[in-house]
């Protein structure tokens, strides 16, 4: 992942709810990119026992979740490649396990593409209304979570996995810290 993926956009000190939540998502993405970026295949596949989790598995899993959240809650589009049902029928945790077979370049490109699809979907849906809009997802009880809930869940998901990445990355090469170094302005 490159520096562009890791740049934390400066939030407004008086931003509205949408601006602040989108800032939180972008900051969490930047932190995740920093913790997972710039590594070779060996580093991406190094677990921290007793867990079998790896940074490569995290990158692929987070890419899946970006696409799944947008497709299930906002667009209704079919899942793009490589998220075929056949892969998950063979292995319900395919996203985690198959990352070991992907190159770093493939994993980073998969994540970046999912993030771009997500950014585009959020921009489109938020241009037509606010976070009170219902998502297209229907719960078993017939409810539709609003977009606020979907966006908060996206932020929470990144924060949780960035914590995992923080520990895994420190184990790989000792990198620690909260935010990536930012380019001089």
Q: Is residue 16 part of a domain?
A: yes
Q: How many CA atoms lie within 13 A of 107 on its CB side?
A: 30
φ/ψ of residue 180, rounded to 5:
-65, 155
Task: Give me the domain span that covers residue 74.
Answer: 3-173
**Is residue 179 assigned to a domain?**
no
CATH of the domain at 138: 1.20.120.450
Residue 178 lies in a domain: no
Q: Vertex 89, ends 87 and 93: CA angle to 5°?
A: 70
Domain assignment of residue 97, yes or no: yes
Give me the mean pLDDT over the 156-182 stretch.
Answer: 93
Q: CA 78, 79, 83, 85: dihedral to nearest 10 degrees?
A: -30
**Cis (ω within 30 of 0) for the bond into 143?**
no
Name, in order, each residue with C-beta under 8 angstroms of 11's C-beta and a sequence gap of 6 or more: 19, 20, 23, 27
pLDDT grade for 13, boundaries at 50, 70 and 90:
confident
Task: Say what the pTM is.
Answer: 0.93
* Mean pLDDT, range 24-37, rounded to an integer: 94
């Amino acid at each position: 992942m490159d520096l562009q993926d890791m740049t934390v956009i400066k939030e407004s000190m008086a931003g509205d709810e949408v601006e602040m939540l989108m800032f939180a998502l972008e900051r969490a993405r930047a932190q995740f990119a920093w913790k997972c970026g710039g590594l070779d295949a060996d580093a991406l596949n190094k677990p921290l026992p007793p867990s079998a989790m790896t940074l490569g598995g995290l990158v692929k899993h987070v890419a899946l979740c970006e696409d799944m959240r947008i497709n299930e809650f906002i667009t209704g589009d079919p899942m793009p490649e490589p998220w075929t049902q056949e892969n998950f029928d063979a292995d319900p945790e395919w996203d985690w396990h198959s990352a070991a077979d992907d190159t770093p370049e493939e994993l980073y490109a998969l994540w970046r593409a999912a993030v771009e699809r997500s950014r585009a979907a959020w921009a489109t849906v938020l241009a037509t209304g606010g976070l009170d809009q219902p998502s297209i997802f229907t719960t078993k009880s017939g409810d539709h979570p609003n977009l606020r809930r979907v966006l908060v869940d996206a932020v929470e998901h990144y924060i949780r996995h960035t914590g995992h990445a923080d520990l895994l990355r420190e184990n790989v090469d000792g990198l620690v810290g909260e935010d990536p170094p930012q380019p001089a302005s």
